[in-house]
Structure 1
Amino acid sequence: MAQLDCNVKSCCHNEDNCCCLSSIEVNGSNACNCEDTCCGSYFEDKSGEKNSAQTPHVSLSIACQATNCMYNDDKVCHADHVDISGIRATAAHETVCATFQEK
């Protein structure tokens, strides 16, 4: 499990820079840098209501399609700390895994 910091305020799963999901997925199977990745679990909060039914998680499991990342082991992220960025995101493709490091 990785400690996750997420500044994607427009996502309905974001609460205080944490994610309310118990796991997320990072997309970017052909990624060569962090800009080629995105949070596949992003869902835009169009209503202005956050996912209040769940509690934010500081640590969670991360499935990762970015097989070129040094932290990816059999499509699971093994980084101790992961940053998902996209402060102005309005869609998943506008988010990035800022922790991505090419092998």
Structure 2
Amino acid sequence: MTSLKCSAHNCCYNKNSLCSRGAINVEGAEARYADDTACESFRDQEECAVKNSADSCCGCETVNIDCKAHNCTYNEHCKCTAASINVSGDNAHRCCDTKCDTFSCEC
């Protein structure tokens, strides 16, 4: 599993910059830059409040990461192999407002 820090504080899974979801999906099949990626698992706090689906447990330091960013150095068979990653999205309200800062194009 990969160590994850997350600055998408508007995400209902964000607990003190850690993720309470247990696993995330990073999208960006044709990504060449970090800005071309996104945390597909992001859910706005308001969305979770309406659906009452927010996870109330603590954030985890490590999570499983399914990665669709095929050009990333750390993508091995759609799994992230980086020791740690940072997902950013300080003012995110949608998944496309986030990105995987650790993305490194092998192109």
TM-score class, shorter: over 0.9
- Going by fraction, where is helix more abundant, 1 or 2? 2
Is residue 54 from structure 1 mapped to residue 57 from structure 2 by the alignment?
Answer: yes
2:55 and 2:28 map into 1 onto residues whose CA distance is 29
- Can you give the 5+ residue segments of structure 1 that lack an aligned partner in the other structure? none
With structure 1 as the length reference, what TM-score do the two structures score?
0.94
2:92 and 2:59 map into 1 onto residues whose CA distance is 20
1:76 and 1:52 map into 2 onto residues whose CA distance is 24
CA deviations on 1:3-46 (whole Å, 9 max, x unpaired) are 00000011000010000011100000010000000001000001
Question: Secondary structure of the equivalent of 1:63?
Answer: strand
Give the aligned partner of residue 34 of structure 2.
34
Tell me the matched-pair count: 103
- Can you give the 5+ residue segments of structure 2 that lack an aligned partner in the other structure? none
Is residue 17 from structure 1 mapped to residue 20 from structure 2 by the alignment?
Answer: no
Q: CA deviation at 1:51?
A: 3.2
Moved over 3 A (4+): 49-52
Mean Cα deviation higher: 51-60 or 37-46: 51-60
- Equivalent position amino acid for 1:58 in 2: E
State, as a whole percentage, how many aligned pairs show the same letter: 30
CA deviations on 1:47-78 (whole Å, 9 max, x unpaired) are 4x993532211001100000100000000000
Question: Secondary structure of the equivalent of 1:24?
Answer: strand
1:50 and 1:84 map into 2 onto residues whose CA distance is 21
With structure 2 as the length reference, what TM-score do the two structures score?
0.91
Is residue 82 from structure 1 mapped to residue 85 from structure 2 by the alignment?
Answer: yes
Aligned-residue CA RMSD (Å): 1.7
Is residue 44 from structure 1 mapped to residue 44 from structure 2 by the alignment?
Answer: yes
